[in-house]
Structure 1
Amino acid sequence: MFKKIVKISLIILILTSIIFVVGCSNSTGKVDNPKIRLVEVTHSIFYTPQYVALEMGFFKEEGLDVELTTAYGGDKTMTALLSGNADIILVGTETTIYVYNQNPKDPAINFAQLTQTDGSFLVSRKPIKNFSWDMLKGKVLLGQRKGGMPEMVSEYVQHINGIEPKVDNEIIQNVDYKNLSSAFVSGTGDFVQLFEPVASKLEAERKGYIVASFGESSGKLPYTVYITKQSMIDNNPEIIQKFTNAIYKAQLWVHRNTLEEIANVIAPQFPDLDREIMLQVLNRYRSQGSWAMDPILDIEEYQNLEKVMEYSGELKQRVPYEAIVNTDFAKNAINTKEQ
């Protein structure tokens, strides 16, 4: 019953947003104001190339004034786009599939990929020297929101490692994303699924211990992607191109520079984070290949996403890759840089 209520609530939220957008004529027209409202799903070192683009002035070099805000949740992030409160969002591709299956007049389109693996880690209450996934059997896992990429990847990784989620173990999903670490510290669950730098902060405080990477175990996915409405692409292709150009510049910069240099650049985005923890987190994401080398969302990664969603029961109807993915801007950005 809980699953049905959550699913129905998400559908109602999306439909309400679509209806609202139809009534807002200015939300799909030509953008005259150079300020681009960018909404990210969460604020994490996982999105390092984006912060490099902001701090290094790559958006400004393209003539864009990008205003970044954080929504803290995939459903909230997509709603910001559909309601006209965002021009571009950074969130998982699965959200565009949910929207497309509601037959919108103005679908959400993936146009540039930022990360290509899951960015979350499994944190244990106690250190485990030789962790294996079967250790989750009979345990309580403090998980993520139903229907979101982190939770779907978690369940898929457990499945391919011989565990039947919610049968062989218990997964708690009624804790808000921002409160997961505090709930775990207060005694909820044997394990928790967390993003960085929260996971490493807990480890530094000896309140939790990273024992496994969901990104290493699940393979490549279009995990976080830049998304906008089709009307924005139709009416403002030059803005989407400039935005993609800036992201590609940042991707190249991140892959060509040291962790110390990267940390220096993104430090203003994480003013309260210890530098040693920052370097540790950067190393984790770089070593597991989390940051995409370029902004192209490959069809192979999309098909891997479909497998993950199908296992979780969230893919009710397949959506053609071409219907919600536009690689033209990514390819143009690469070709322009190479000339």
Structure 2
Amino acid sequence: MGRPGPKTLASQFQSQGKGHILANMGLESGEVPYTTFMVRQETIEKDAKFVAAFVRAIYKAQKWVQTASDTEIAEAMQAYFPDADLATLAAVAKSYRATDSWAKDPIMTEDSFTRLQDIIDGAGELTARVALPDLVDNSFAQAVVKEVG
């Protein structure tokens, strides 16, 4: 089974009286693409329909998160965080919503990509910066956003 994520674990500690959340790093940092999906160019060339369907599913999930209640989101997350109760997960969903922490679409922006590289660079793990267009193909995301609305 999965382990609790940092926000879920922090919320559990707080609800158990074992700690306090002092700052929200997502709120402090601005938009950062902390979850990304990668695919080889050869896969795009061989099976573009699959790639488009995957991106469409991600976008539909993002749209669902925007309209679902905190409890509905918590219920959807519960299988991935078996050690967290529903109330904690709902509190995490509420916090993420309040701080606008969930991306609204799958399009990666130049600003968010730069922030991600800043974080990796600050950790001493980035040997060279990469330009967004050299690594990111937003064409599938842009097409899906236009198609789905």
TM-score by length of 1: 0.40
Deviation at 1:266, TM superposition (A): 3.2
1:306–1:273 Cα change, 3 Å: closer
Secondary structure of the residue aligned to 1:212 is: coil
Counterpart of 1:284, as a letter, is: S
Distance in 2 of aligned mates of 1:266 and 1:307: 29
Query: Is 2:55 aligned against 1:241?
Result: no
* Residue in structure 2 matching 1:259, options 29, 54, 70: 70
Q: 1:283 offset after TM fit, Å?
A: 1.0
Alignment of 1:298-313 (within 5 A): 298-313=109-124
Which is helix-richer, 1 or 2? 2
Deviation >4 Å, runs of 4+:
none
- Asked whether 1:232 is paired with 2:43, we answer yes
Deviation at 1:216, TM superposition (A): 1.4
Distance 2:82 2:66 in 1: 23
| Number of equivalent positions | 148
Is the CA contact (8 Å cut-off) linking 2:70 and 2:91 kept in structure 1? no
Aligned to 1:208: 19
1:76-155 correspondence runs (5 A): none
- 1:318 corresponds to which letter in structure 2? R
Q: Which amino acid aligns with 2:17?
A: R
> What residue is the counterpart of 1:218 in the other structure?
29
Render the CA deviation track for 1:259-318: whole Å, top value 9, x for unaligned: 123223333433442121111111111111111000001112112223333444433222
Structure 2: distance between partners of 1:205 and 1:241: 43
Q: Deviations over 1:37-92 (max 9, x none)?
A: xxxxx766xxxxxxxxxxxxxxxxxxxxxxxxxxxxxxxxxxxxxxxxxxxxxxxx
- 1:337 has 2:148 as partner: yes
Instruction: Quote the residue 1:296 is aligned against.
Output: 107
CA RMSD of aligned residues (A): 2.1
Q: Secondary structure at the match of 2:18?
A: coil
Aligned residue in 2 for 1:33: none
Which amino acid counterpart does residue 273 of structure 1 have in structure 2? A
Give the conservation status (yes or no) of the 8 Å contact 2:32–2:113. yes
Q: Aligned to 1:319, what secondary structure does the other structure show?
A: coil
Partner residue, 1:93: none
* CA distance in structure 2 between the aligned counterparts of 1:222 and 1:298, rounded to whole angstroms: 9
Change (3 A) 1:273 1:314: closer
Partners in 2 of 1:220 and 1:270 — Cα distance? 24
Aligned match of 2:7: 196
Partner of 1:320: 131
Cα distance in 2 between the residues matched to 1:219 and 1:207: 28
| Greater RCO structure (CA 8 Å; 6+ sep) | 2
**1:206 positional shift:** 2.4
Q: Which has the higher strand share?
A: 1
The Cα shift of 1:226 comes to 1.3
Percent identity over the alignment?
Answer: 32
Amino acid in structure 2 at the alignment position of 1:336: E
Question: Could you tell me how far apart the structure 2 residues matched to 1:43 and 1:246 are?
Answer: 24
How far apart in 1 are the matches of 2:9 and 2:60?
A: 28
Deviations 1:99-155 (A, max 9, x none): xxxxxxxxxxxxxxxxxxxxxxxxxxxxxxxxxxxxxxxxxxxxxxxxxxxxxxxxx
CA distance in 1, matches of 2:3, 2:143: 28
Identify if the C-alpha distance between structure 1 residues 308 and 271 changes in structure 2 by more than 3 Å, giving closer, same or farther: closer
- Ranges in structure 1 where 5+ consecutive residues have no aligned partner: 1-41, 45-193
**What is the match of residue 29 of structure 1?**
none
